[in-house]
A and B are shown apart, each in its own frame.
Chain A
Amino acid sequence: MLKTATVGILRAAMTGPELEALRLSLSVALRSVLASLPLAVAVAWLLTRRRFAGRMFLDAFVHLPLVLPPVVVGYLLLLTFGMRGPAGRWLYEQFGIQLIFTTAGAALATAVMTFPLMVRAIRISLEGVDPGLEDAARTLGAGPWDRFFTITLPLMLPGILAGVVTAFAAGLGEFGAVITFVSNIPGETRTLPIALYTALQTPDGDALAARLAAISFSLGLIGLLVSELIARRVQRLLGR
């Protein structure tokens, strides 16, 4: 039932602008997750396992996007990564990389916004990994990277997967920071929510808006179901 309904909705919706918005949203979410995952694992590890000066500051900084208006995040990105911003100019002059008004820029804005979600999920699972197991691995001759990849990482896998799925799902719908930073360019930065917003601003755009909303709804549902399935499978694998 659910399957035929989904297929029906998708088939009906898979015309030009919807398909494009869906493809863009998926691409942006995927790229943001892939780019931020290693950093999120590193930050989660630092916050959980290390005591250092400025730890509280890092913790607060990572969580800022949760409490700031997304428009503010987009504005700050614009200041930093815009063509006249320090990082933006450097990237363009050194590597010819332009983030503003591009899909890559949309991915960056999405990554910043979803970063705290990812770090939180990973951190919770890392806190559940007994450091005593890492000590045990040390006594068996495993060096720092060895024990991270063979003990710590596999044991925090549930949190990583949860973080990835949550960040991906949230990333599909990131609006404020994206539109502020990379604007609303069809085929480049007009993701699902931005396309939906645009449709609402257009006369006779109601039907398109409804179809886009249906796609977002289905994606969200699928995401949640998939994450639940993965979580169960992983829990079993870890023997809990």
Chain B
Amino acid sequence: MFSIRALKRRDGFTLDVAIEVATSGVLGLFGRSGCGKTTLVNIVAGLLAADEAHVEIDGIVLEDSRSGTRLPTERRRIGYVFQDARLFPHLDALGNLRYAERRGRGVEKRISLDFVVQLLGLEALLERRVQKLSGGERQRVALGRALLSQPRLLLLDEPLASLDIARREEVLPYFERLRDELSIPMIYVSHQFEEVLRLATHAVLLEQGRVVTQGTLDDVSLHPDLRAIVGPEAVGSVLTATVEAHGGDIAGLAAVRVGANVLHVALRDARAGASVRVQLLARDVILATARPENISVRNIMTGTIVRIANDDADTDMIHIDIGGPLVLSRVTRAASAALNLQQGTRVWVLVKAVSIRGHAFVRNPPPPGTVRKLTY
């Protein structure tokens, strides 16, 4: 269990949060710039003094204002990957890794230099001066360095924010590997919902220093406040699904089970039985009050409208229960009125396979102390 409570007042800004989640997996800390994400992780790392704080990981209290406990950062064993990498400029890449390795030595050794080099593909970079590394390479070295300090928790503060999109795609898979192959809990800070969607097992939505909602991504994706942050085009319910079959008659298309329904999703590299996360964007979900015939849409489900919320002046956000999970559909008022959509109306829910974004995802990381696939 991982619990953080923090209160910090500064120049008219107040951070006041309480977060409690399971330690395993990745906690996505999401919110727009200036909402207090970095302040919060700096308090967790001990780099910033809070007015009041309680930071506890698996029963180990790192900070507690009431009892006056406050471990200095260097004794917290919290790895930190900064947005700007912060590699030591007077050392080469290997020197940076060794710096952390030497200081993590007192700890029961679990992650070796060789393992990190292999995991993050650093062989070719080791002898290089850090000034000669690209942005993405820097972040990989910074990540390796953080791992070698043998952290009990890894803080990733917008590690991809200073990279362009191509570089991001180059680094993201390494974070996914880390999540799937190591048992180190992580807090991943981002203002890009896309990244949270790909990496996080749980999410906290932070706004103006306060927790708006926290829970599984499936739950957080339905929260009405998300719209204001990601914009109306990116709102959509996130569903956790299991791959039933992959490839088959159409390569690159997978059949995934969500509750009682089977969805066809464009998905690469997924094995049958694997957990995946799919997002149905509200703008891509089509509703019908009669069973549609002769239509190219691959996914046709049935459901019941449970809620109709105002989206903006011209559109409604309709919540449909498809037998467990909820799906959002954004429709114009005119369409809503024409179909006479109301709470309790039975509808057919249509989604094109190609408009569903799927991400391979290991839902349950290995328990602490075990590592799979790679040996070290």
Any chain B CB within 8 A of the CB of A94? no
Q: Across the two chains, which residue of chain A brings its CB closest to B149?
A: A140
Q: Across the two chains, which residue of chain B brings its CB closest to A237?
A: B90
| 24 pairs, A vs B, C-beta closer than 8 Å | A130-B86, A132-B86, A133-B88, A133-B89, A136-B80, A137-B99, A138-B47, A138-B72, A139-B45, A139-B73, A139-B78, A140-B100, A140-B103, A140-B145, A140-B146, A140-B149, A141-B74, A141-B77, A141-B100, A141-B104, A143-B74, A146-B103, A151-B88, A154-B90
Q: How far is the CB of B273 from chain A (nearest CB, A)?
A: 38
Q: Across the two chains, which residue of chain A brings its CB closest to B104?
A: A141
Q: Which residues of A contact B74 (CB under 8 A)?
A: 138-143, 146
The 10 closest A-B pairs by CB, nearest first: A141-B103, A139-B80, A136-B86, A138-B73, A140-B149, A140-B100, A239-B131, A239-B129, A138-B74, A154-B90
Any chain A CB within 8 A of the CB of B130? yes
Q: Which residues of B contact A127 (CB under 8 A)?
A: none
Knowing A132-B84, A135-B47, the reply to whether A155 touches B103 (Cβ < 8 A) is no
Q: Which residues of A contact B99 (CB under 8 A)?
A: 137, 140, 142, 150
Q: Which residues of B contact A239 (CB under 8 A)?
A: 89-90, 129-131
Q: Which residues of B contact A137 (CB under 8 A)?
A: 88, 99
CA distance A141 to B99 in the complex (A): 10
Q: Which residues of A contact B86 (CB under 8 A)?
A: 130, 132-133, 135-136
Q: Which residues of A contact B106 (CB under 8 A)?
A: 141
Assuming A140-B100, A238-B90, what are 15 further A-B pairs, CB within 8 angstroms?
A132-B86, A133-B86, A133-B89, A136-B80, A136-B82, A137-B99, A138-B74, A139-B74, A139-B79, A140-B146, A141-B103, A142-B103, A238-B89, A239-B90, A239-B131
Q: Which of chain B's residues 285-326 have a Cβ closer than 8 Å to chain A? A: none
Q: Which residues of B contact A154 (CB under 8 A)?
A: 90
Q: How far is the CB of B47 from chain A (nearest CB, A)?
A: 5
CA distance A139 to B71 in the complex (A): 12
Give the B interface residue count (CB, 8 A).
29
Q: Chain A interface: which size bin? A: 20 to 34
CA distance A223 to B274 in the complex (A): 70
Q: How far is the CB of A193 from chain B (nearest CB, A)?
A: 38
Q: How far is the CB of B92 from chain A (nearest CB, A)?
A: 9
Q: Which residues of B contact A132 (CB under 8 A)?
A: 82, 84, 86
Q: Across the two chains, which residue of chain A brings its CB closest to B77?
A: A141
Q: Which residues of B contact A136 (CB under 8 A)?
A: 80, 82, 86, 88
Q: How far is the CB of B184 from chain A (nearest CB, A)?
A: 14
Q: Which residues of B contact A130 (CB under 8 A)?
A: 86
Q: Which residues of B contact A151 (CB under 8 A)?
A: 88
Q: How far is the CB of B327 from chain A (nearest CB, A)?
A: 41
Cβ contacts B43-77/A at 8 Å (1 or 0 each): 00111000000000000000000000000111111
Q: Which of chain B's residues 80-107 have a Cβ closer than 8 Å to chain A? A: 80, 82, 84, 86, 88-90, 99-100, 103-104, 106
Q: Which residues of A contact B73 (CB under 8 A)?
A: 135, 138-139
Q: Across the two chains, which residue of chain A brings its CB closest to B99?
A: A140
A140 touches B131 (CB 8 A): no
Q: Which residues of A contact B149 (CB under 8 A)?
A: 139-141
Q: Which of chain A's residues 117-162 have a Cβ closer than 8 Å to chain B? A: 130, 132-133, 135-143, 146, 150-151, 154-155
